[in-house]
Amino acid sequence: MRRLSTLHLNTERTWRGGERQTLYLAEGLCARGHLARVLCRADSELGRRARASGLEVIEMTVHGELDVVAGWRIARHVRREGYDILHMHTSHAHGLGILASALCRGPRRVVHRRVDFSIFRNRLRISRFKYRLGVDRYVAISAAVKAAMVADGIAAERIAVVPSGVDTARLDRIEESPAAVRRVLGLELDWPVVGCVAHLAWHKGQEFLVRAAPRLIARVPEVRILIVGEGPRRAALEAEIRALGVGDRVRLTGFRADVLALVRALDVLAMPSVMEGLNTTLLDAQALGIPVVATRVGGIPEAVADGEGGVLVPPRDPAALAEALADLCADPARRAALGQRGRAWVRERFSVDRMVEGVLAVYRELVE
């Protein structure tokens, strides 16, 4: 295949799963001899990490997805460089990319979709237009995301399913030992520790883990529960922890830069989401040999084989969540068996290389 020239738009300031996957893809394309540039906000963590990785980065000030000036600048850059592929990785990048493509001609347009929300959630009805105009192919990270898009009227043949990837080499390079991480957090080595690592947003469902805490503590009195991350739901979660009187067992850690080392220090990872596209934290945990308890929603059953790397429970059910967590906390042998099977299962099916090759197959179909 000839060398491809690709531009990757990502408008997020913060660093989450989608930004990591954007970086993995750009790095993987460059490693295969293709050109991959990242266009992002001037103050973004993705830009900083992409530069540190040796990628070419174009920084731009963006004021929402209807920023005509930013769209015109992107169009001017695309015309000048003559890209084969314009790949949009976020919702606002999608809007800006469509705006830019209306001002220039040339590249094939690809949009990544990582959530299983309806595309019609936007009150301004912008999605009704941008999902019907100017996109050659969508890449969904799970069959569940594709199904949600098809239900909203997007033709199935326009959507390719390419699961997110796990960088197993990066996981194997974690230096901090679980014991060291626990010491820093003030956790005893013999305490069962349950953790939830996610943006504190409504669809991640952390309140159901908080509500499960009294029942879990009653069965496993020494358990400690860590809720890792930041987001708009923090104040509400703090209030619920106080109301339930579980502040001595449940801790909000805030954002942690050592999140993978922290995950490896857990006994069980909990993911009580009410909606979910796939969830790379579940993949990371299993690849590290940490068993998971997660809800049976969205793409999670594609990320976690029930009884292989973890246990699936109904969403919005604190009692079922507590029982599954308590059973694992009380059974080290079962935790070890689930961890071993989950590690093998994820490392075989969800590598970064498979993700990059899957996206490249979409590119090839478009340009050839």
Res 120: pLDDT: 77
Domain-wise residue ranges, the chain: 5-165+351-367, 168-349
How crowded is the C-beta side of 103, counted as CA atoms within 13 Å? 17
**What is the chain's Cα-based Rg?**
21
Mean pLDDT of the chain: 93
Res 95: pLDDT: 87
Which residues, other chains included, contact 7 with Cβ-Cβ below 8 Å and sequence gap of 6+? Answer: 37, 39, 58, 77, 78, 81, 83, 85, 86, 87, 107
Q: Which helix (H) or strand (E) holds 127?
A: helix 127-130
Res 44: pLDDT: 94
Res 126: pLDDT: 61
Res 283: pLDDT: 96
Res 214: pLDDT: 98
User: Higher-confidence residue: 253 or 65?
Assistant: 253
Length of the chain: 368
Please write the tens of the pLDDT for every residue from 121-176.
655 556 666 676 779 999 999 999 999 999 999 999 999 999 999 999 989 999 99
Res 62: pLDDT: 83
The secondary structure of the chain in percent helix, strand, coil, rounded to multiples of 5, reads: 45, 20, 35
Whether 5-165+351-367 shares its CATH topology with 168-349 is answered yes
Residues above pLDDT 70, as percent of the chain:
96
Calculate the CA 197 to chain-centre distance. Answer: 11
**Confidence band of 63 (pLDDT split at 50, 70, 90):** confident
Please write the tens of the pLDDT for every residue from 307-316.
999 999 999 9
| Domain 5-165+351-367 = CATH 3.40.50.2000 | yes
Which residues, other chains included, contact 64 with Cβ-Cβ below 8 Å and sequence gap of 6+? Answer: 92, 95
Please write the tens of the pLDDT for every residue from 22-46.
999 999 999 999 999 999 998 899 9
Which letter, b or e, does each residue of 99-129 get, where b requires 16 or more Cβ atoms within 10 Å of its Cβ? bbbeebeebbbbbbbbbbbebeeeeeebbee
Confirm if 281 and 264 have CB atoms less than 8 A apart. Answer: no
Q: How far apart are CA 287 and CA 298, in angstroms?
A: 20
What sign does the CA torsion over 343, 348, 354, 358 have? Answer: negative
Q: Which amino acid is at 343?
A: R
Which residues, other chains included, contact 178 with Cβ-Cβ below 8 Å and sequence gap of 6+? Answer: 261, 264, 265
What is the arrangement of strands in the sheet containing 108-113, beginning at the earlier edge strand?
56-60, 35-41, 5-10, 85-88, 108-113, 137-140, 159-161
Residues above pLDDT 90, as percent of the chain:
81
Task: Decide if pLDDT at 238 tops 70.
Answer: yes
Task: Decide if pLDDT at 229 tops 80.
Answer: yes
Res 158: pLDDT: 95
Res 106: pLDDT: 79
DSSP β-bridge partners for residue 271: 294
Confirm if 313 and 295 have CB atoms less than 8 A apart. Answer: yes
Task: Decide if pLDDT at 345 tops 60.
Answer: yes
188-192 mean pLDDT: 95
Please report, in angstroms and rounded to a whole number, the separation of the first and last CA atoms in the chain: 9
243-257 mean pLDDT: 96
323-339 mean pLDDT: 97
Please write the tens of the pLDDT for every residue from 287-296.
999 999 999 9
Res 98: pLDDT: 86
Q: How far apart are CA 4 and CA 37, in angstroms?
A: 11
Please write the tens of the pLDDT for every residue from 195-218.
999 999 999 999 999 999 999 999
Res 134: pLDDT: 75
Q: How far apart are CA 220 and CA 191, in angstroms?
A: 10
CATH number, domain 168-349: 3.40.50.2000
